[in-house]
Amino acid sequence: MDFDNLFEEYFDKVYYKVLSIVKNSDDAEDISQEVFMSVYKNLNKFREESNIYTWIYRIAINKTYDFFKKKKNELEINEEVLLIADEFNSDTNILLQEKLNLISEKEREIIILKDIYGYKLKEIADMKNINLSTVKSIYYKALKDMGGE
């Protein structure tokens, strides 16, 4: 399949999937364009061992994860949590910060990806390239350590 056909067939699917995660149309557009630039550059490397959309979807998840990693580098994770938590009152904000300080960086990252950015555990596992059961274990341990379950 040539690139033009791939772009025409899958761009909207990728865009709406990314939009559902990043919740911002400009960011979703930028990420989707990055996805298809990567598809264009690497199309000759696609081995046809899986469905082409599965391959494109994986690139989209990785690009979306990279987007959040860049964002994380721009704002320290605790500051970002505080900004997002501004919707809550200051007591909740302080409590949230205290709870997040009880867990490891790895646990904090999964909690933020799941509970603040809205990723599903399966998507987080795909992004981080680790088993879903490992992500679940880390997530539920973090909730327990934070006093949530």
> Of the candidates 147, 120, 117, which has an alpha carbon nearest to the alpha carbon of residue 132?
120
pLDDT at 89: 47
* Torsion region of 48: left, alpha or beta (phi above 0 gives left; psi -120 to 50 gives alpha): left
Q: Residue 97: pLDDT band by 50, 70, 90 thresholds?
A: low
Higher pLDDT, 50 or 25: 25
- Cα angle at 71 between 14 and 46, to 5 degrees? 35
pLDDT digits (tens, 9 = 90+) for 28-86: 999 999 999 999 998 888 887 778 888 898 888 888 888 887 776 555 444 555 555 45
Higher pLDDT, 121 or 128: 121
